[in-house]
A and B are shown apart, each in its own frame.
Chain A
């Protein structure tokens, strides 16, 4: 029930009308009296409610700050130099400032998903009514694990989701206020607030995704969701092409509906970039997924789209400039991203179409999704006729362009990965484009090189043109986002996950800011799939996973099933579908372990942290949204590994395996405080290389609750990966082998010798019923 509603319960009331017994009066929402789960201690937690839980984690995983900037420039006292022990004019320290920026990033990320969810929910309430029942997934009773856990409510209809979203919005305002000059000063409290933002983010994402699943008939947790096509080659460029960019599927849905209602689906191509593409394909698999965010500029420059429709998030803010160059009109559809365009929401559709097809305007803002549908389709048909013959890279010969390269190195220094652009240009001068083409898969598509180039070479276009033949023929199958994990699947795998017999759950998520191309993501996914981990994925990562084929021409979606079980590759969908990943971990505690979810955050997080061997991997994490998604994982005790660019989030949360005193838990059976070893060792960690990440993920999958068999399975993967990539046995096995039964049988002799050398003592590391919460102790010894 919403906090602003009123519930009055009277055992007996005598009045002039008579005597009433058991009288209950409710104003506002109807109280869910049928929910037998008792209310936990923290429904709708405020900013400080879970502070003590956060501090338990942050005592183990102390922030290691790597300032991205030594200054604070947020108020007019500044700029303030915070280097070393200096303090700003407000008194803030470097640690305080870095954690403050982390909080700001998490607030931006969580606010972005929340605004998305609000837009989605308001629209769907209008379209489908407040009493539209929530139907999230097949065989599923726990429809909204994050909302149940955090808010203590069990949403049944669309209107119930408003309560969750109202709460999130209120809390986010509190968090942003904490970042004002002269508010919070302690870095650990800033970190706790960042965790709070992350937790809120998962509630907001859940609202966004379950509301669209339930009303737009997106897949409801089917393991074998349909396959769609991904890649340039999936688009038939001979037809009019609509390119949708962003994360909010509503305008795209109305475009698809208009195409269907007017029997035009076969005549017009519609494809998407970034998360909108995921959700379009969940809505109708015939819509194409052009690619991840890094392809945005390249695909526009390829000249293939005849109309660009942008919604929100992760758009290139120069999309108007790029589209103008090609004579491609743009329709903006969100108040958050108006792009300077005139608001034509209330104009006659045919007038707008006329203005765009004649080129009288180069774009419009339309905030009514239905109108977007009609205008988009009519416009693209008109514009495509005029663009015949222009669907290609409109640049001069590469060698002629390359001849003007001065080899000044500005492009290389501007590139996030210092790619060898100048070397490629020198070869191109001689007519050899292979080096330029090779950059195609490594380039993140940011175009900073072009901005830096003193002779204004269109470097991205040159790279894409050099690789054009390969690009335009590439088509990859991708299983569309299935949404939530079914309760029945959780029942099947809950035990092997908690006992450690499934070696781990790896969630490969996030953006495409890769240090060396997207192939690395597919490589990492396959490594864990072969090892029978459960691999979940979403967003741009789910796309990059599709884009690598083996020697038989098969990609991972074709080789691995979509079930939530060992060796399954589970594409949950877009960014907001990440809530299903934390949701699955939460449901393990609820469905398998029978722990109450309702407003019971600490206990569930404690359960997940100590028992569920889940690890997030965001190899190309770029955005503030990725930061807040990760923060939601941290508060639940789920470690997150990022690629080297992730170090730019400016702080890690690192455990110290060499400090035994950091790794004690209560044994819930008798209250004894016991040493369990550094499992998991870190909460937020940037790996320098793919190989390092692989080894670390295997290690981070270990949990204090692992059975002997489970620990042996996990150790065998950790050791095997370590031997493969480091050329030796790990040097910290004595911290993870608790008893001889933990030792993988096939490596016994080798490991026993190592343990002896390390002075290992049996049972020094306990196998308790682990908890960080004193109140979870059932009986004192």
Chain B
């Protein structure tokens, strides 16, 4: 699997603390499965990103059915609903603001998340929000499943071509489901 740290946007250079590359998809799946309170955060680019399931919305629905909390940002919850799936909805800014709050009890009121997995965002927006959380929510683990390396996550996929990324996402999702 790609270990390239080519940035999705050339000038979005990270600071001294950079994300580790996820060496293989099974590692990401294991981290998600091991987390006590994981949250999959799905951005507004999701319908434009093809996966083996169709697009990222379809894949996120599959993950959601596996019991992992999913939150749609932007107006994406409407897309989930149109496909018959109910997930949480919260604007990205509100979510970032709450994820840094140690007292926030989560979208379901059951407690703080220990892992946030981001996918489906424009590169710079994910970069920025993760950099806010990197400094101001230091006990939150962040994984980026972006197709381009996201340096401000704790762990990020390496940069890869669309076809390879589809495979990787599929392996991650199937590995998560196998454990359930």
A residues in contact (CB < 8 Å) with B: 62, 64-71, 81-85, 94-95, 410, 413-418, 452, 515, 644-645, 647-648, 650, 652, 654, 656, 682, 685-689, 691-692, 695-696, 725-728, 731
Quick check: A515 and B75 within 8 Å, CB to CB? no
- Per-position binary interface string of chain B over residues 105-140, scored 1 when its CB falls under 8 Å from any chain A CB and 0 otherwise: 000000000000000011111001101101110100
Quick check: B97 and A652 within 8 Å, CB to CB? yes
Quick check: B15 and A83 within 8 Å, CB to CB? yes
Please, how many angstroms separate the alpha-carbon atoms of A64 and B104 in the complex?
Answer: 15
Quick check: A647 and B17 within 8 Å, CB to CB? no
- Per-position binary interface string of chain B over residues 69-85, scored 1 when its CB falls under 8 Å from any chain A CB and 0 otherwise: 00001110110011000
Residues of B within 8 A of A84 (CB): 17, 134-135, 138
The segment out of B4-12, B24-32, B57-65 that lies at the interface is B4-12
Quick check: B8 and A66 within 8 Å, CB to CB? no
Quick check: A413 and B8 within 8 Å, CB to CB? yes
Please, how many angstroms separate the alpha-carbon atoms of A416 and B123 in the complex?
Answer: 9
Residues of A within 8 A of B44 (CB): 688-689, 692
Give the nearest-CB partner of A684 in chain B. Answer: B93
Cross-chain contact of B17 among A83, A414, A452, A650 (Cβ < 8 A): A83
User: When A688-B74, A695-B75, A696-B91 are in contact, do A65 and B136 touch as well, CB less than 8 Å?
Assistant: yes
**Smallest beta-carbon distance B180→chain A, Å:** 27
**Smallest beta-carbon distance B55→chain A, Å:** 16
Quick check: A727 and B128 within 8 Å, CB to CB? no
Please, how many angstroms separate the alpha-carbon atoms of A686 and B97 in the complex?
Answer: 12
Quick check: B74 and A692 within 8 Å, CB to CB? yes
Quick check: A644 and B134 within 8 Å, CB to CB? no
Cross-chain contact of A410 among B10, B74, B75, B94 (Cβ < 8 A): B10
Please, how many angstroms separate the alpha-carbon atoms of A515 and B11 in the complex?
Answer: 17
Please, how many angstroms separate the alpha-carbon atoms of A677 and B132 in the complex?
Answer: 27
Quick check: A685 and B93 within 8 Å, CB to CB? yes
Please, how many angstroms separate the alpha-carbon atoms of A777 and B154 in the complex?
Answer: 50
Please, how many angstroms separate the alpha-carbon atoms of A227 and B10 in the complex?
Answer: 43
Quick check: A413 and B9 within 8 Å, CB to CB? yes
Please, how many angstroms separate the alpha-carbon atoms of A647 and B9 in the complex?
Answer: 15
Q: Does B179 contact A (CB under 8 A)?
A: no
Residues of A within 8 A of B78 (CB): 691, 725-728
CB contacts between A and B, total, < 8 Å: 132
- Of A414, A682, A688, most buried by chain B (CB within 10 Å of CB) is A688
- The interface on chain B, measured as residues whose beta carbon lies within 8 A of the other chain's beta carbons, has a size of 42
Residues of B within 8 A of A695 (CB): 75
Quick check: B6 and A66 within 8 Å, CB to CB? no
**Smallest beta-carbon distance A188→chain B, Å:** 15
Quick check: A648 and B15 within 8 Å, CB to CB? no
Q: Does B38 contact A (CB under 8 A)?
A: no
Residues of A within 8 A of B132 (CB): 64-67
Quick check: B82 and A67 within 8 Å, CB to CB? no
- Of A85, A647, A687, A728, most buried by chain B (CB within 10 Å of CB) is A647
User: When A64-B97, A726-B78 are in contact, do A418 and B9 touch as well, CB less than 8 Å?
Assistant: yes
User: When A413-B9, A452-B10, A728-B77 are in contact, do A418 and B122 touch as well, CB less than 8 Å?
Assistant: yes
Interchain Cβ contacts under 8 Å between A and B, 26 examples: A62-B97, A64-B97, A64-B136, A66-B96, A68-B131, A70-B16, A71-B15, A83-B16, A83-B135, A84-B134, A85-B138, A413-B6, A415-B9, A416-B9, A418-B8, A418-B122, A418-B123, A515-B122, A644-B122, A644-B124, A647-B93, A648-B128, A654-B93, A696-B91, A727-B78, A731-B89
User: When A688-B44, A727-B81 are in contact, do A413 and B10 touch as well, CB less than 8 Å?
Assistant: yes
Quick check: A726 and B128 within 8 Å, CB to CB? no
Known: A410-B10, A417-B122, A686-B93. 6 other contacts (CB 8 A): A64-B132, A84-B138, A413-B10, A416-B124, A418-B123, A726-B77
Residues of A within 8 A of B75 (CB): 689, 691-692, 695, 725-726
Quick check: A689 and B74 within 8 Å, CB to CB? yes
Residues of A within 8 A of B74 (CB): 687-689, 691-692
**Smallest beta-carbon distance B123→chain A, Å:** 6
Quick check: A688 and B92 within 8 Å, CB to CB? yes
Residues of A within 8 A of B123 (CB): 418
Chain B residues 120 to 177 lying within 8 A of chain A, measured CB to CB, are 121-125, 128-129, 131-132, 134-136, 138
Q: Does B37 contact A (CB under 8 A)?
A: no
Please, how many angstroms separate the alpha-carbon atoms of A692 and B91 in the complex?
Answer: 8
**Smallest beta-carbon distance B13→chain A, Å:** 8
Q: Does B35 contact A (CB under 8 A)?
A: no
